[in-house]
């Protein structure tokens, strides 16, 4: 197992953008996502990360009308009714 860790470390060093990640790298990125207030703020909203770097989502995903349409259809498909959620403005 240590051999595979060594190989993975070398591959990630030589090719940092490939999708093979060690548990340590994933843990480091998760830690940064949870506790890096300097880069992400105290209560970040609508933030996506690629590893530990901010990632901008597609223009379509930021479209307010499409977000509302997605929410309305999701509520309908899930069959949410009054009392099913604690959200204040879910309708």
Rounded (to 5) percent helix, strand, coil in the chain = 55, 5, 40
Instruction: Report yes or no on 68 lying in a domain.
Output: yes
- pLDDT for residue 55: 87
Contacts (Cβ under 8 Å, ≥6 apart) of 32: 39, 49, 52
Residues 14-68: tens digit of each pLDDT: 877 677 777 888 899 899 889 988 888 888 877 888 888 888 888 998 899 999 9
Instruction: Report yes or no on 3 lying in a domain.
Output: no
User: Which of 5-9, 17-21, 26-30, 83-87 comes out lowest in average pLDDT?
Assistant: 17-21
Instruction: Report yes or no on 88 lying in a domain.
Output: no
Residues spanned by the domain of 59:
21-79
- pLDDT for residue 65: 96
**Cα–Cα distances in angstroms (integers) from residue 31 to residues 24, 25, 28, 42, 53, in the given order:** 10, 10, 5, 14, 13
Q: Is it the case that residue 78 has pLDDT exceeding 70? A: yes
Q: What is the mean pLDDT of residues 4-21?
A: 75
């Amino acid at each position: 197992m240590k051999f595979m860790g060594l190989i993975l470390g070398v591959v990630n060093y030589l090719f940092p953008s490939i999708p093979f990640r060690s548990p340590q790298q994933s843990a480091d990125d998760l830690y940064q996502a949870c506790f890096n207030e300097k880069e992400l703020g105290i209560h970040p909203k609508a933030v996506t990360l690629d590893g530990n770097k901010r990632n901008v989502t597609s223009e379509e995903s930021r479209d307010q009308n499409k977000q509302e349409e997605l929410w309305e259809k999701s509520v309908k498909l899930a069959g949410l009714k009054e009392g099913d959620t604690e959200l204040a403005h879910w309708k």
